[in-house]
Structures are given as C-alpha cells and as structure tokens.
C-alpha cells in the first residue's frame, strides 16, 4: 500500500497552510522502514476545512491546479523528431 498517510501529532507547532500556532497538528507524510516521516503539518481548523484532502492544502499542488505545467506539443511536421 502506498500514498500519503495522515497522522495526528501531539506536538506544538505552526500550520504549514495558515501559519497559526497549534498544540496538536495533523501531519501528512510517508512511512519508510516502519517509521512515519511527516512532510507537511496542518492545524485542526485547516484539516477540518479541507477534510484531509492533501492536494488542496499543499501550496505547490494548489499552484499546479491553478496554472498547470506547460506541456510542449509539436505544432507541425518540422517539430517532430526523425
């Protein structure tokens, strides 16, 4: 099984989405060698607002949804590789 894993951290810190300080943070990360490695941390308010949808919380994912990466497509036969 793979994909993002959510976990409630009982640590004080700041939310990566809104910057608010919180005593408990929800973290999304990966499990490597049976150890959880958090990538991003969110306060309970942001987690509840987005209901755990990591792609709507992560700033890079939001930016890519608003402005997708440019894909180069050939415009004519001369642009195609031989």
Considering only CA atoms, give the Rg of the chain.
Answer: 18
Query: What is the structure's pLDDT at 37?
Result: 85
**pLDDT confidence bin for 1, thresholds 50/70/90:** very low
Listed by start position, the domains of the chain span 1-57
pLDDT tens-digit map of 25-76: 988 888 888 888 888 888 888 888 877 666 666 666 566 656 655 666 666 6
Query: What is the structure's pLDDT at 52?
Result: 63
Count of all residues that appear for the chain in the document: 82
Q: Which residues contact 17 (CB under 8 A, 6 or more apart)?
A: 42, 43, 46, 57, 59
CA angle 78, 73, 76 (to 5 degrees): 25
d(CA 70, CA 45): 34
Model pTM?
0.56
């Amino acid at each position: 099984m793979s994909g993002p894993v959510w976990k409630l951290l009982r640590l004080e810190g700041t939310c990566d989405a809104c910057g608010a300080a919180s005593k408990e943070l929800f973290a999304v990360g990966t499990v490597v060698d049976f150890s959880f490695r958090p990538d991003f941390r969110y306060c309970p308010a942001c987690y509840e607002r987005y209901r755990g949808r990591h792609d709507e919380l992560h700033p890079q994912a939001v930016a890519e949804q608003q402005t997708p990466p440019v894909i180069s497509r050939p415009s004519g036969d001369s642009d195609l590789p031989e």
